[in-house]
Amino acid sequence: MNNIIIYGSKYGTTKKYAEELSKKTNIKAISFKNIKDINNYDKIIYLGGLYAGGVLGMSKTLKKLNNITNKTIILITVGLSDPKDEVNINNIRKNMKSQLPEEIFNKSKIFHIRGEIDYTKLNFTHKTMMKLLYKAVKNLPEEKKSAEDKAMIDTYNQKVSFIDFSSLNNIIKEINH
């Protein structure tokens, strides 16, 4: 079996999770930017940071898969919003469905784990995006705020980490399944 962990990470959180997963499974971890031919692998574990609903690098990487009949695909999103919130999970999955070929989405096992943010590290575009989003949602009535809105309001302009390597345990079980 030729297995691979691929990650899409802009500020390093997803990379940290990918490297921990690599250590615990003995599967090599590589950035989506450096992957040569994804069709060489039998088991593909993709971790991507969430950016405005998109999973960084996922679509670009997985659409190069030709034949998935004998492949195992595990997808993991890393975001700030609460991965235990049902509405949030449904939202993330709906977005993922629109970013992937249908057969890949249907075949994949999907997990959601929580990341971190450090506003001092964000680039200008991301800082501006967050400022606009924050202004748009901060005065919404409580019941209208989504899990994403709440996570953003609670962490705005701060350095906050929800990294929890124990959230990888279920994923490791699935990988070894």
Ligand X SMILES: Cc1cc2nc3c(=O)[nH]c(=O)nc-3n(C[C@H](O)[C@H](O)[C@H](O)COP(=O)(O)O)c2cc1C
Could you say whether residue 9 binds ligand X (CB under 6 A)?
A: yes
Q: Which stretch binds ligand X (CB under 6 A): 20-28, 45-53, 68-76, 99-107?
A: 45-53
Could you say whether residue 50 binds ligand X (CB under 6 A)?
A: yes
Q: Which is nearer to ligand X, 85 or 174 (CB)?
A: 85
Kindly write down the DSSP assignment for every residue of 94-118, as one continuous string: HHHHHHS-HHHHHH-EEEEEE-EEE
Could you say whether residue 155 binds ligand X (CB under 6 A)?
A: no
Chain centroid to Cα 77, Å, comes to 2
C-alpha torsion 160→143→52→82, nearest 10 = 40
Angle at 148 between CA 20 and CA 153, to 5 degrees: 105
Could you say whether residue 29 binds ligand X (CB under 6 A)?
A: no
Size of the site for ligand X (CB under 6 A): 24
The residues that touch ligand X, with contacts defined as CB under 6 A, are: 9-15, 49-53, 78-81, 115-117, 122, 126, 129-130, 148
